Amino acid sequence: MAEQRRDAGDGRDTGETAARRPGKALERAWRDLVATARRTVSDGLVVGTSGNVSVRVGDTVLVTPTGVPYDRLTPEHVCGVSLDGRRVLGSLVPTSELPMHLAVYRSTDARAVVHTHAVHATAVSTLVTELPLVHYMSAALGGPVRVARYATYGTEKLAENMLRALRDRTACLLQNHGTLAYGATLDQAYDRTAQLEWMCRVWLTASSVPGRTPTLLTEEQVASAGERLKGYGQP
């Protein structure tokens, strides 16, 4: 998967290359990451190469490379960095939003992060400072979803603003930009992203009815739903 260099003298892989060759766990994680990235496109959460996905395996963070369409990603395109941002796998440049991803991993127990430019969520991020409590599934994200103040993409300032919005939450909106969600797995991070986009769409749809104002839930009602959600699903 990683870029391979061979010694000109005997044709063997150099020690540096061998050290950079990913193991089975990293190979599986990269396949899952690519599948998740492609899903963001097929489900309409990103256009082209916007948005990015990462997953943490030990102290290595696999992340989508910058400017490469997801349908072109192969095992040879693996892109991995350390928690301090050093490239440790592959030859491609990581996503420009690497500061956001690393900030999440350093500050939370996240094992996966999904960032998108989802249409309805981005629209909502331009209108409010917090997504109104239009649905109890806000509880699945930790409570009312905040909007991180705008900062130029790819900057440490944006990462700082995002962390403030993420306090006690697993997802946030990025003002005039998009969404960010994290989870214990890629599936969970993706599901939270999709749920956030759906709630934003519901609020925008309800708010667009002339002469009517959406009924909102209280934080207490959302918290009560959150308690019930803890036991949701199969044991």
Rounded-to-integer distance, Cα 178 and Cα 168, Å? 19
User: Both tokens of residue 35?
Assistant: 């599948």
C-alpha to C-alpha distance for 180 and 117, rounded to whole angstroms:
9
Cβ neighbours for 117, distance < 8 A, ≥ 6 positions apart: 45, 46, 47, 50, 51, 177, 178, 179
89-101 per-residue burial string, b: 16 or more CB within 10 A, e: under 16: bbebebbebbbbb
* Ordered alpha helix ranges (H), the chain: 15-20, 24-42, 98-107, 119-125, 156-166, 186-207, 219-229
Q: Which of 3, 27, 76, 97 is catalytic?
A: 97
Nearest partner of 133 among 45, 209, 223, judged by Cα: 223
Q: Is-catalytic flag, 3?
A: no
Kindly tell me the burial class for residue 152, based on how many C-beta atoms sit within 10 Å of its own C-beta (0-12, 13-18, 19 or more): exposed
User: What residues are paired with 6 via a beta bridge?
Assistant: 13
Contact in structure between 163 and 123 (CB atoms under 8 Å): no
Kind plus residue range of the DSSP H or E element containing 212 = none
Active site residues: 97
